Amino acid sequence: MNKSTVFGLILAVGSLIVSGAMELNHLNPEGISPFLKPSALIMIFGATAGATMCTVSWELFMKLPTITRIAFKEVHFDSKGIVPTFVSFSEKARKEGLLALEEDIEQTTDLFLKKGLQLVVDGVDPEVVRGVLESEIDNTKARHKEGADMFTAMGGFAPTMGIVGTVLGLIAALTMAGQGAESNKVVGAIATAFIATFYGIGGANLVFLPIGGKLTQLDHHEAQYRELVSYGILSIMSGDNPRIVQEKLSVFLSEGDRVDLEKKEEGE
């Protein structure tokens, strides 16, 4: 599980619940019960889901559970660890030829790296290899953007649906007042009406927008990793010496990772 997503949501939602309970505790012995309004939940999450469904394709909307799980899954792109691997590939290719990498291809679990190396071993033109790898990266980024944009759209719809729910609640409260209802009941109905806005703003800023942001961040990290892999594959294909390969790929690493990599080399 992705700890930052899980603990972040727990902290955000938990803080909101505790804060609300503390605020109401001295005014209302029922604690947070005034915040629990099923009709508002249906209004916000049901209407938001419906509006989102109208915005995106049916196929994409049906992937909502899968896309959500991605934000909660721990994904690590080992950019620092893949650099020595490419240096090793480069040394092997220069000594034994590109065909010698076939054994490494079979042991590779990274499908993107596997596809690129296979094209190299098959003797495909370098420009074709570059085009295939770039298209793969672009298409992956486009798919990921669709998922992130869907959550961003939900984050935009939810507060608006909250306002709609509040307006409906206020209409009901004013209708009660017009029918001669007691003032305390009317005031209570008005307070309850604003729960819809609370749900809408809370759902957008505590769930939908954070998940959309996390998906965008994961996409950025994966795209950067794949760019590194592409450079490595093309460097091997060009016959670059291992030192040049490492220099080319190190530009994708943070300063700290570069230092760690250099220390590791010195230790060896």
Other residues' Cβ atoms within 10 Å of the Cβ of residue 52: 20
Q: How many angstroms separate the CA atoms of 7 and 126, rounded?
A: 45
Give the pLDDT score at 31: 53
Give the pLDDT score at 32: 56
Q: What is the mean pLDDT of residues 161-168?
A: 89
CA–chain centroid gap for 236, Å, is 32
Predicted structure pTM score: 0.84
Q: How many angstroms separate the CA atoms of 94 and 75, rounded?
A: 33
CA–chain centroid gap for 151, Å, is 9
Between vectors from CA 118 to CA 113 and to CA 120, what angle results, nearest 5°? 100
Q: How many angstroms separate the CA atoms of 93 and 96, rounded?
A: 5
Average pLDDT over the chain, rounded to an integer? 86
Are 37 and 45 a contacting pair, CB within 8 Å?
Answer: no
Q: What is the mean pLDDT of residues 123-149?
A: 94
Per-residue pLDDT tens over the stretch 88-116: 999 999 899 988 899 889 888 899 999 99
